[in-house]
């Protein structure tokens, strides 16, 4: 039994069937291959920080590929309208899961407005989608198309603002404007291409529009891949801009080493003088026998405490980013590995810790 949609029959048949299937299978192949490449690339790296955006894009591409597979099954091989609707809803939900993983990984790397704000909004949206499916599943595809892509758009434009206003990226990234063009045009091509494959747009342009949409999706995926390949190697510049100072403190409270990265910003000493001393002492006492990280927010600054066996690393920064936490933990582990024997029997000589400057420059600058 054919499903009729304003002149478009489902399952799709006729002269457009074969070229459409070929193009949409190419979309699946591109998305799947790109997702696997970025996943392997992120797994082969030793540093977790530069992996976050690669993992995010990998989840997006893998989810996009699976979504397109379900679209092909529902639009080319299913004759029952009710089953087709269920498959479409499942595809939308897959799209939302991949979108959630994409946004979560991106927000783990970089704060947008407020930590995990877009992730929270997306989770709320997914709950509403499930509720809508059980109440009236006919409206879920419209609900998904308009609302999920609105969240994507808001997140994308804020991300693009972050990238375009980064002074360090402009300095270190060759052809900076071209990479911005890859990001912007890739997102636009992918969105327009996806829109042209939806039932709503099929009412207006028919199967020719869907064929053009598949071409646009391929172009969009290629451009976005080129962008994320170029940006992944210098992602550390985002979080490095957020760090003010670093302190290495013995568990007794004695400061072994201090490094200020921003002379014009409020230092840890000023924060302590402004009334956080008691909080710092409480933190030091509470984390002496623990391995967990601790956070203090004071005067618009964030202090991240990472305890080791003998020392405590303290970072003063603008935001509590996962990438900063990862780096601080590895830094503390590296210092204790190098100075293990000295820290066990330390006699109070601070000069012995001067070479830490080179390690800080290697890790944080």
Length of the chain: 365
Predicted TM-score (pTM) of this structure = 0.66
Question: Around Cβ 340, how many Cβ atoms within 10 Å?
Answer: 11
Strand locations in the chain, DSSP E? 3-5, 8-10, 243-250, 255-260, 294-298, 301-307, 311-317
Residue 139 is predicted with a pLDDT of: 72
User: pLDDT digit string (tens) for 129-152?
Assistant: 888 888 876 677 666 766 667 787
DSSP string, 132-145: HHHHHGGGHHHHII
Query: Cα(67)–Cα(33) distance, rounded to whole angstroms?
Result: 15
> Is the Cβ–Cβ distance between 223 and 245 less than 8 Å?
no
pLDDT tens column, 331-340:
888 888 888 8
Is residue 227 packed enough to be buried (19+ CB in 10 Å), middle (13-18) or exposed (0-12)? buried
Predicted confidence band at 275 (pLDDT cuts at 50, 70, 90)? very low
Q: Above pLDDT 70, what percent of the chain?
A: 77
191: pLDDT strictly greater than 80: yes
Among 68-77, 249-258, 261-270, 345-354, the minimum mean pLDDT is found in 261-270
Q: Does domain 3-238 have CATH number 2.60.40?
A: no
The residue that leads in pLDDT, 59 or 241, is 59
Confidence of residue 357 (pLDDT cuts 50, 70, 90): confident
Q: 162-190, pLDDT tens digit by residue?
A: 777 766 666 666 777 888 888 889 999 99
Higher pLDDT: 58 or 44? It is: 58
Q: What percent of the chain has pLDDT over 90?
A: 14
pLDDT at res. 222: 93
For the chain, the domains span 3-238, 242-364
Fold entry, domain 242-364: Beta-Lactamase (3.30.450)
Is the confidence at residue 277, as pLDDT, over 80? no
Strand partners, 301: 298
Q: What is the mean pLDDT of residues 241-260?
A: 80
Q: What is the mean pLDDT of the chain?
A: 78
CB 144 within 8 A of CB 92: yes
How many angstroms separate the Cα of 191 from the Cα of each of 281, 323, 349?
A: 52, 29, 61
Residue 4: which residues within 8 A CB-CB, separation 6 or more? 10
3-238 and 242-364 share one CATH topology?
no
Span of 54-58, 198-202, 221-225 with lowest mean pLDDT: 198-202
**Rounded mean pLDDT, 274-283:** 48
Per-residue confidence at 265, pLDDT binned at 50, 70, 90?
Answer: very low
Would you place residue 66 in the very low, low, confident or very high pLDDT band (cuts 50, 70, 90)? very high
């Amino acid at each position: 039994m054919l499903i009729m949609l304003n002149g478009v029959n489902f399952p799709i048949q006729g002269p457009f069937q074969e070229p459409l299937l070929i193009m949409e299978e190419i979309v699946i192949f591109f998305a799947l291959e790109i997702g696997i490449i970025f996943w392997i690339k992120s797994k082969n790296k030793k540093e977790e920080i530069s992996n976050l955006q690669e993992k995010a894009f990998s989840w997006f591409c893998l989810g996009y590929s699976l979504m397109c597979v379900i679209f092909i099954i529902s639009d080319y091989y299913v004759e029952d309208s009710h089953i087709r609707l269920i498959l479409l809803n499942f595809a939308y939900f897959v799209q939302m899961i991949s979108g959630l993983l994409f946004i979560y990984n991106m927000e783990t790397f970089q704060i947008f407005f407020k930590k995990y704000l877009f992730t929270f909004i997306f989770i709320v949206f997914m709950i509403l989608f499930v509720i809508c499916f059980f109440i009236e599943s006919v409206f879920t595809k419209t609900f998904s198309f308009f609302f999920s892509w609105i969240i994507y758009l808001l997140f994308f434009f804020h991300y693009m603002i972050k990238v375009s206003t980064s002074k360090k990226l402009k300095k270190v990234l060759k052809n900076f404007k071209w990479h911005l063009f890859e990001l912007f045009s890739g997102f636009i091509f992918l969105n327009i291409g996806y829109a042209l494959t939806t039932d709503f747009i099929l009412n207006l342009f028919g199967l020719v529009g869907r064929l053009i949409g598949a071409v646009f999706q391929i172009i969009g995926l290629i451009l976005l891949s080129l962008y994320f390949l170029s940006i992944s190697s210098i992602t550390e510049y985002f979080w490095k801009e957020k760090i003010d100072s670093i302190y290495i403190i013995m568990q007794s409270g004695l400061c072994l080493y201090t490094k200020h990265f921003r002379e014009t910003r409020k230092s840890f000493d000023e924060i302590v003088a402004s009334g956080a001393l008691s909080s710092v002492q409480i933190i030091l006492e509470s984390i002496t026998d623990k391995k967990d990280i601790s956070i203090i927010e004071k005067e618009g600054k964030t202090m991240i405490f990472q305890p080791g066996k003998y020392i405590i690393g303290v970072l003063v920064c603008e935001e509590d980013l996962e990438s900063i936490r990862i780096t601080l933990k590895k830094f503390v582990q590296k210092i204790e590995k190098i100075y293990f024997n000295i820290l066990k029997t330390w006699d109070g000589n601070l000069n012995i810790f001067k070479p830490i400057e080179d390690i800080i420059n290697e890790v944080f600058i």
